[in-house]
Every structure is written in C-alpha cells, then in structure tokens.
Amino acid sequence: MTGTARSLAPLAGAWKQAFHLATNGSGSYGKGLNLARNGAVAQIHTQPGRISAPVAAKKATHQAVIHLPELTATQWESLAARLADDPQAVADLVANRIPATIADSGHAGGISITPPSDGITFSCSCPTGRTHRVCDHSAALGHAVAERLTNSPSLLLGARGMTARALAAHVRDLVDGADPGPLPADTNGTVRAAQLYSLAAHRPPQTAPSLDLDTVTILTYTDAPLPGPRAQDLAHMTADAAARARTLLTDTTAAPHDELADILRILASPDGADHLAAAQRATGIPEATLRAMMIGYRHGGPAGAHATLAATPATRDVLEQARETLHSSRAVGLGTITLDGDALTDTTAGVQIRPGPDGRWYPFTVWRAGEWRPAPGPCDDPAEAFRAARRARAARPLRR
C-alpha cells in the first residue's frame, strides 16, 4: 500500500491545486482545512457528477456537496485505450488496483481524471452553501477528498462518471488474448505478485516445442513457461523480498504489521468487500466485526483495525490520567466518563476512546445495542480523540 500511495500522490496533488483555485481565495479554504483535520467530515459518498458528505461544525451537521463535470463516453474510451497499451496499468487494473497512470494526463491520452478548477462548484445545506458559494463545510470536504485520494482514488473516478470496476472490465476486454508486454517495476523498484499472475492470464499461451523423442534435446528458457512470471519480473520480486527482509532484520517496521492487518488492508481497498467471505473463513471473525475493522483501517491503518477489534491493554494509571486529561480539557459535556475495560466511555454522549497498539487514542461512537463503530481522528492526546468522537457522534444518528 505504501508504494501505491506514493505512486498516486500526483493525483491528490492535482486535486488540491484544482480545488484551491476553485475556492478563489475564500477564507473558508483555511477553515475547512481545520475542520477536516479535526475529523469533522463523515463518510464520503460519490455519485456521477458529485461528491458529498455530512460535515459537523459548531454543534450542527450540514450536508456538503462538491459538483464536478463527468467525462464523456468518448473520453472514457480514449482513456481505456491508452491504459490498455500500458503493461503496468493493465496489471494494476486486472489485479483490482487503480493505475498510477490516471494521475498523469500526459500518459493517459490527454485525459485528466482531475477536473479543471472552473468545473468545480460547491453547495451545502448551510446558508452560505445554499447560494452555491464555497463554505467551511464544502471546503472541509474538498480537503478530506485530497487526503483520501492516495488510498481511494475511486472517489474521483466515480464522480467523473465511471467506477473502477467498470474501467477495469473495459480494459480487460481490450487486452483479452493479447500480450501486454513485460511488466516494469514501479517507482520504488518493486513488482507485485498479484499483478504478475493477473497479467499472465492475458498473455497468449506459449507454443509447445516440437520434440524428436529419438534424440536428446536440451531446452533453454529465458523465462518460465506461461502463465508463470517472466525472468525479469522474478528478479524484481526477489529484490523486493530481500529489501523487506532487511527491514525486518533491522526492526524498523511499523507495528502492528501482521497477517490480520494485511487482510484488513485488502478489505479496505475499493473492491475489498468482495473478499469478505474469504476473510471470514480465514480469520474466524464475524463479518460485522470485519466490516467495522475495515472502517477502523481506513481511519487509522493497521493500528485502527486492531483497536476496533479490541482496545490495547493499558494500566489503571494510564486510564486514570487520560480521564483526568478529558475533564481538565473540558472535552466532556454533561456525561460521566467511566472505565469500560481498557476504554474510556461516556454512555450519555454515546462516545468512547480506546488505546491503540501504536500509542494513540482511537475514537468510537455507539452504533446499536452496545456496538461501537470507529470514527476518524485518532490522536496522541486523549482529549482531542474524545472531541473527534463527539463530532462524529453528532454527524451519525443513533441506529435502533
């Protein structure tokens, strides 16, 4: 995921520039950034031509919308044809990943996934937004989109009029039975195994050599027989495995990095829900819990997923000190903070914070029948995490 995030960084950068220009110097741009950083933006929804989300601010929640033009059918055809000529893009798409190529219009047939700044407009349920001017809430949504694009580029694809799944299917049709060519390494010198084997399925079968059984024939293969990966691809994979081994030996990996976190990384991807049944069989964790952990992963990475499954054990002194911090910071309203196992809970407000395995505090809101759902805004400061939970609770009605 790190390599994918770096390769798609230009897409987020292009969106930030276009979004900034679209706000036309409004003071809401900076105020919206503060709201987004404080976890005010709830779940983002995408439809053709619009991106929307509830945004909580000043004890009120407003529905913010960013409008942008859809790409035409001709433009999508041009983009798909250009992607079909790029082995790296084909490998990404057949492995259900968004190719980094879409972040660069120069390599995507001149088609830019990021809309021009004059094509971005705003609306909101607040008084300012009703006049179709940018407000603090729609600006916060724009910043939240930029933050999530490196991990969820399908947000922008859907708003421009095509899902990632539909684009991948179209490219598959274009390359079916053809040889897309060798797969180059990505920007950090690695090649993913899933890409290699997915790409190999689209290469024509290798013709079996003609053998004379009465004579001894020595065959030499530069590449392994298809559908296996090519020799160059194996070299890239070997180099990547060696680099990861060195990282493990020097103990510089970010905890927690384990099999469960890696499963959640896949589930949290744009098409990860398709693997829920397999993940449930592999882990024995109920589907509802896995879905909640997917949300936790999106908000806080591997640590967020683990915190959703269970709070990290903490000493009584740590919990009491955190509770004192909440009271002294006035983050608590009229409720009472109770120690609920290794978590701090305000049952009146319907919010909770839990210690995570990375030392941060993770916010949660009550969902139904005592079930807790993760919220955005994990923080080293328990008071800030508690405020993030309250903001998310205000934006999320109680499910009964």
Q: Where are the domains of the chain?
A: 2-170, 259-309, 316-395
**Residues 253, 247: Cα–Cα separation, whole Å:** 6
Instruction: Give the residues across from 365 on adjacent strands.
Output: 351, 373
What b/e sequence results for 304-319 when a residue is b if at least 16 CB atoms lie within 10 Å of its CB, and e otherwise?
Answer: bbbbbeebbebeeeeb
Q: Running DSSP on this structure, what letter comes out for residue 63?
A: E
- pLDDT value at residue 202: 53
- Distance between CA atoms of residues 353 and 313, nearest Å: 13
Q: Quick one: 332 exposed, middle or buried, by C-beta within 10 A (0-12, 13-18, 19+)? A: buried
What pLDDT is stored for residue 3 in this prediction? 39
pLDDT for res 349: 85
Residue carrying structure tokens 């809101």: 365
| Predicted pLDDT at 352 | 93
Distances from the Cα of 168 to the Cαs of 23, 29, 99, in angstroms? Answer: 33, 35, 10
Which pLDDT belongs to residue 113?
Answer: 83
Segments of the chain with pLDDT less than 50:
1-6, 107-108, 399-400
Query: What b-and-e string marks burial along 157-173, b requiring 16 or more CB atoms within 10 Å of the CB?
Result: bbbbbbebeebbebbbe
What tokens does 56 get?
């909580």
Nearest to 255 by CA among 306, 294, 295: 306
State which H helix or E strand residue 322 sits in. helix 316-328
Q: What share of the chain is helix, strand, coil (3-state, %, to 5)?
A: 50, 10, 40
pTM of the model: 0.48
Per the CB < 8 A criterion, the answer to whether 175 and 73 are in contact is: no
Across-strand partners of 345?
338, 352
Alpha carbon distances (Å) from 312 to 341, 342, 350: 10, 7, 20
Please return the burial class of 221, using the count of CB atoms within 10 Å of its CB with bins 0-12, 13-18 and 19+: exposed
Look at residue 6 in the predicted model and tell me its pLDDT: 43
pLDDT for 5 equals 43
At position 250, the amino acid (one-letter code) is: T
19 within 8 A of 142, measured Cβ to Cβ: yes
pLDDT at 400: 39
Model pLDDT for residues 198-224, shown as the tens digit of each residue: 555 555 555 665 656 566 555 555 665
pLDDT the model gives residue 239:
66
Residues 6 or more apart whose CB falls under 8 angstroms from that of 249 comprise none
Q: Give the number of other Cβ atoms within 10 Å of residue 255's Cβ.
A: 13
| DSSP reduced 3-state for 28 | helix
Rounded to 5°, the CA angle 378-357-343 comes to 65
The kind and range of the H/E element at 339 are strand 337-340
CA distance 337 to 115: 46
